[in-house]
Structure 1
């Protein structure tokens, strides 16, 4: 079993993408990075993020 986190925090997504937490939070809030809220906290599924990156690499505008 792969030991990577399946669900990522905004902080983890920011580190993964090498961008600031403020920018990451804004992109998730705007729906430009796929995420969901648990209570007041945003979370991102790693596989959703990878798929989103694949689409961006292929020139799809989301």
Structure 2
């Protein structure tokens, strides 16, 4: 009998960048300010893509409530 339990692989910050199509700084800001699911292993960030997907679906990456940096006082 083969073991049917499939263990999800950990991925790197670069993997998540490619997966989501966003930059490194964006991901680091999401981790610190929006509770993006990420785990520090030594000096490296590690992720489970299923957790990242759930976080995005729940609105974690939404800009709805974030003030735009470009909208500064005109004068």
Aligned residues: 55
Please report the TM-score for the alignment, with normalisation by the length of structure 1.
0.68
Bigger Rg, structure 1 or 2: 2
Name the structure with the higher helix share: 1
Q: Which runs of 5+ in 2 are unaligned?
A: 66-75
Q: Which runs of 5+ in 1 are unaligned?
A: none
Taking only aligned residues, the RMSD between alpha carbons, in angstroms, comes to: 2.5
How far apart are the structure 2 equivalents of 1:56 and 1:6? Answer: 24
How far apart are the structure 1 equivalents of 2:40 and 2:51? Answer: 14
Find the partner of 1:34 among 34, 37, 42. Answer: 37
Instruction: Point out which structure has higher relative CO (alpha carbons under 8 A, 6+ apart).
Output: 1
